[in-house]
A and B are shown apart, each in its own frame.
Chain A
Amino acid sequence: MKFGILVNEGPYQHQASDTAYQFTKAALAQGHEIFRVFFYHDGVYNATSISAPPQDDRNVAQQWADLAEEHNLDLVVCVAAALRRGILDEEQAQKSSNTTYNLETKEGNGFRISGLGQLLEAGIQADRLVTFGD
């Protein structure tokens, strides 16, 4: 089956991202396809590349990036939700005259900033869109 995943809450505050991660991992392990993971609302905070949690805890953002690298996942962060919350990649930082950015779109880190159309497309193209959040 082809799944679309929607993550609506930020890391640590809420379990949504962890559960979405576990679901995605389990679905891939069973041979299902993940069309896209879309991060919306506070879910955009999952895409930060500068979080530094204690060493004895999981790194939510990093484990998404690692899973993306392993399975070539498309992790899409909503641009409007990200900009108003201060999640910026290099391009968006330049456009908004910020000198710094916190979403690294380096090779292998699957996060990229794009529009809500990507969520709609996931809803249309996937067999199931599964939402994680309140």
Chain B
Amino acid sequence: MSEELQEGVVKKMMYLNRKAPYGTVYALESLEVVLIGAAFDQDVSLAFVDDGVYQILNGQNTTKDSGIGMKDFSPTYKALGDYDITKLYVEKESLEERGLSADDLMDLVYEDEDDDWAEKPSIILVSREELADVMDEQEVVFSF
């Protein structure tokens, strides 16, 4: 098998997050793929659409003290910048349909190594139409 492996292949890879963070396990397990995948040095982006926008909502608290008793994995999104995952597309229409705006989202940033480690926003607000174009450019889409 090893002789088949293409060394140094870099693909445009998108993780498409469509589900609310709790209620089903898709969001948590999607994040686990993202973190493992960071080691593969691919051209990675994340997209948040439909109820997936709730995944990066500010002020989540699901821990034991809150009475819900679920692992709150929302802090992990804040660490994505350290994994060189810097493109988080958020669909405007999905926010609007849920009465949300960009102000309701976590402040997700990364440090740009090409710009003296300046802190820059990771979230890219896009329209449904724009996101369709970005998706069209991808070679692999992991849809969760």
Contact = CB atoms under 8 A, between A and B. Distances in A.
B11 A40 contact: no
B29 A123 contact: no
12 contacts: A8-B144, A40-B29, A40-B33, A41-B29, A120-B37, A120-B42, A123-B13, A124-B42, A125-B4, A125-B5, A129-B141, A131-B143
Given A41-B26, A129-B140, A131-B143, A120 B6 contact: no
Contacts of A124: 6, 9, 11, 40, 42, 140
A108 interface: no
The 3 closest A-B pairs by CB, nearest first: A116-B36, A123-B140, A120-B37
Interface of A: 6, 8, 40-41, 80-81, 115-117, 119-121, 123-125, 129, 131, 134
For the complex, would chain B's binding face be called helix, strand, loop or mixed by DSSP majority? mixed
A124 B36 CA distance: 14
Nearest to B143: A131
Given A123-B13, A124-B9, A124-B40, A80 B32 contact: yes
